[in-house]
Structures are given as structure tokens and as C-alpha cells.
Amino acid sequence: MVQAARELLAVRTPLDAELMVSDMIGAWWGRRVRGGDVEQVLGEGLVDYAAKAGTPASLTLLICLAYLGTARQGAKAEGAALAMMESGVARPGWADRVGAVKPAGCYVSRDAYGDQDTVICTFAYRWNDGEQPIDRHALVMVVDYNMSGMARDAWVSSHVDKLLEQARAEAAGNPLLLFEEIQPEQARALLESAMKATREPKTPPPVSESYSAYHAFARARLKALPPGRKRPAPLHIEAPYSRERRAMLAAEFLASDAAEHLSDPSAASRCADHIIDYGCEQDFNRPLRVSPTKCETFLLDWLPRKVMLSVAEQEAMPHVLSAWVRFAAHRTGLPEQGLKATLDAVWEATGKFPEAYRDPTSFGLDRPLLERLLPDGDLSALARRAFAFPYLQGTHNGIELDQLDPADQADRRTLLEIDHGGAIDQEHLAWHEEIATRLWDGDPPQLWEAAQRLLDLGHDRHDVLHVLIEIAERIGGDPEELAAALDDIADIPDEF
């Protein structure tokens, strides 16, 4: 990278240099390395190496890293760059203007469904009164609300006027698209929230191929926007729905004209509860927001992974979802064109739903056992809970295992004692109970991910549990350190 930085000496503007270095350090964005945080191991390592090189190219790289790097990288790079400049190392004439930008206007193109926002933030390098803006450019970021509100794409354009004109033209006369100017504070709050959502642990991060190249540039540019908005706007996040408010909304739906054709009121009620829960917990408390993508994701992705449905609910769900779309569209004022497109999407997904949703009883597990493992109906927890409590049927020393509830603390300890043949040190049993409880709750998610990696390598279940216990006992109560240590597990050490 230090060798590649020689190309910085040939560029003519700070914008070109910033984009080049952002692309360079984007090579490790979203990746993991053993032995520490990737930004520390590679990012700060690059700063240290560039400081030792002592060349004009490495100085230029450090100047860009002081602006584009993380807080730690920036501080180290700035100190190293100042020392090199004091020693007389040359730098390009534009280097003093790196990051010296002013916001010139922020805009958003938003679809009527609420699926995504395309945010455009325009900047120019600082200019004196009476002068024309220098090197105008636009940072464009796409925020996807069907993917937890994450930023999934980013790019930069120097054709600012053409870009804005095209966005306005696309929205003109299109009832499903809105283009408007927003306050810089709103844009900053919205994009910082989106970039934070993108940073959440996802392997690999579900972003465009170009996102990593612009990530550092975008992170730095947002700091040029004024702060001051706590709530991301223009996203209209509603207040959290209480249990009573959710029940009232479900009752209003079931009593509406949209639901009058549903033949099984009991199953329809439970299906409505799932639809409302999904909108509240996965879509920023917006159960009434409907779109083709949201409905497809709910029916073909989220339900099959997360919810244990009865046979009656499986049969009713597509019909209830269609009725909900009509009910919600009327309440929110979704244009007729959007309603039709959403209903068409539900119809298309209905034919795929029986294949997408596999009833867990088809795996050979009877429903009473499933109900003991999934009292909350969280289908995604089945594998990790079965791993934590493998003995739930039959008898052991006169104890009817079918009568023990793994969700009950006393029964949970009995099941773990039986898992160890009844002979186990109480302190060690307490650690097994700690790990079993964490697996039951999925806290942290990295615990089950680490267990699966070790199981895939062919290791014995008890050996895997003992490795998890050793890490939890060594780390203590720091959740971030525990998650990081679990992420680093690639195999069981030889001493085990």
C-alpha cells in the first residue's frame, strides 16, 4: 500500500486523493483477522509502516489517513505527518486542502413504500466570499429499510447538477417517488444511523461491491455536516408499540372489511399477530407499512427462519397477509398503483410459501417436544437449544424427561446433571448452566456461531462446550470482549 501511494503524487486534486485512499483502506472493511480488530491490526499497522518509510508518498498517504481513518488511526497519522513535515519531507500543493470541505445541500429520493431512501449530500472545497465553489461533488448513499435500515450502497459523483436534475425528473409525475431537499442535520442523523446498522456483525456484509471503497470517504464526509438531530429523518419512526396497542391494531384489522372473507378467525388472529410483530420489531415500529419487497421478505425469509406456525396458520398466512395489505394501504394512503404491485407480489410469493416454510415436525420432531424447546415460537433458536439440551425424552433413573421443562431453571439444572451422568462438580455444573442459558437466549450470537464452527470440524459436543466455558470463565462479564474472543475461535487448542 505504501508503494501504491506513489500514485498520490500524480493526482491533481484532494478529492481524487481521498477517493483513492478510501478505496485502498476499503480492502479490509468488513473483514476479520485473528489477533485483534482489523482496523487496529491493518489500519494502524499501515500508519506505523508509512511513518517509518519517510517518503513524500508515505507523507501524502498519512495526510489522507489523518482525515479518512478511524479516530485512533487519524490521531496517529496526524502526529506522524506533522513530524515528517517538520523534518522537511515534501508534499503536493493540494495536500493542505484534504478534507477541507463545506456542505452545499442535502436531498433525498424516497419511494412511497418506505423501502429505501437515496440520500444525496453535496459538498465543495472551502472557498472565500465571492468565489465560485471548488470541486463540487456529491456523496450518494442508499439506505434500505428492508435490511434493518442499513446503508447498502454508496458512490461519489462530480456531476452534481446533472445528478440532481435527473433525480427531480424521475420523481416528477411518479406517485410512488418523492424527491425533496432536507436539512444537513437530518441527512447526517439518517446516514450515521444507516452506517452504524451496516457495521453490525454480518458475514459477509450484504452491501454492494463498491460500498467498501467509499465507506471511509462517507464516514469522513458526514462529519462535515452539522450535528443536532437525534432521530434519523426523513424516516418517520413511530413510538414503540405496547402489547395492548398491538392487540388493538389486530382487533381493528380483524373487524375490518379487508378481513371479512377470512374463514378461520383463530388462525387469522395469530397470523395478524405475527405480521404486526414483524413490522414492530424488524421495521422500525411500522406494522402498517407494506411493500412488495417487505411482504416477500416476511413470507419467504423471516417466517421460515423465525416462527413456528401451526398447520392452520401455514394455510391461512398468505390470505391473511393479502387482507392486511389492503387494510394497511387504506390506512396509510398508499397509491393504488402501489397497492396493486404489493398484492401481485404476495400472490407470487404465495405459490412459493409451502416450499419455503418447512414445518419443523417434518424434521422428525413431535410438536410437544418443539413446544418445550420453543415456548416463544422462535424457530431460529431450535438448533442451539437442542444442542444445549439433547436429552428431553425417555426416562433416566426413574425421571420422566418428557415432564422436564428446559425453560425452567430447576428443570434445566436437572437436565444438565443427567447430561453428565449425574456425577459433576457443582461449580462446573454452574458453568454448564451459564453456557446453556446463553445458548437458550442466543446471547451473544457469537456463542452459537463458534459452537457450529467447531462442530463442523468434527469435534465432540462436550469438548465444544468446555471450550466455550473456558472462554466465558476467562473473559468474565465484558460482552464485547466475549464476542470478540468467540469470533477468534477457529479450532480447539491442542491443550483441550
The whole-number mean pLDDT for each consecutive block of 10 residues of the chain, a chain of 496 residues, reads: 94 96 94 80 95 96 97 96 96 94 95 96 80 86 94 97 96 94 95 90 76 97 90 72 96 97 96 97 95 98 94 96 98 96 98 92 85 93 94 90 94 92 83 95 94 93 94 88 84 72
Residues 490 and 276: their CA atoms lie apart, in Å, by 39
pLDDT of amino acid 129: 60
pLDDT of amino acid 30: 83
- Whether residue 279 contacts residue 286, with contact meaning beta carbons closer than 8 Å, is answered with yes
pLDDT of amino acid 274: 97
Q: Which three cell numbers stand for residue 263?
A: 374463514
> Minimal CA–CA distance to 413: which of 449, 395, 388?
388
- Whether residue 271 contacts residue 321, with contact meaning beta carbons closer than 8 Å, is answered with yes
Residues 494 and 496: their CA atoms lie apart, in Å, by 5
pLDDT of amino acid 422: 67
pLDDT of amino acid 364: 79
Residues 456 and 453: their CA atoms lie apart, in Å, by 5
Return the number of other C-beta atoms located less than 10 Å from residue 243's C-beta: 7
pLDDT of amino acid 159: 97
pLDDT of amino acid 173: 85
Strands (DSSP E) contained in 171-295 are 177-182
How far is C-alpha 96 from the geometric centre of its chain's CA atoms?
Answer: 36
pLDDT of amino acid 206: 87
Give residues with Cβ within 8 angstroms of 212, minimum separation 6: 26, 27, 29, 30
pLDDT of amino acid 199: 81
Burial of residue 130, with CB atoms counted within 10 A of its CB: 0-12 exposed, 13-18 middle, 19 or more buried: exposed
Residues 300 and 350: their CA atoms lie apart, in Å, by 9
- Is the pTM higher than 0.75? The answer reads yes
pLDDT of amino acid 465: 95
Residues 485 and 442: their CA atoms lie apart, in Å, by 16
How far is C-alpha 336 from the geometric centre of its chain's CA atoms?
Answer: 32
pLDDT of amino acid 174: 94
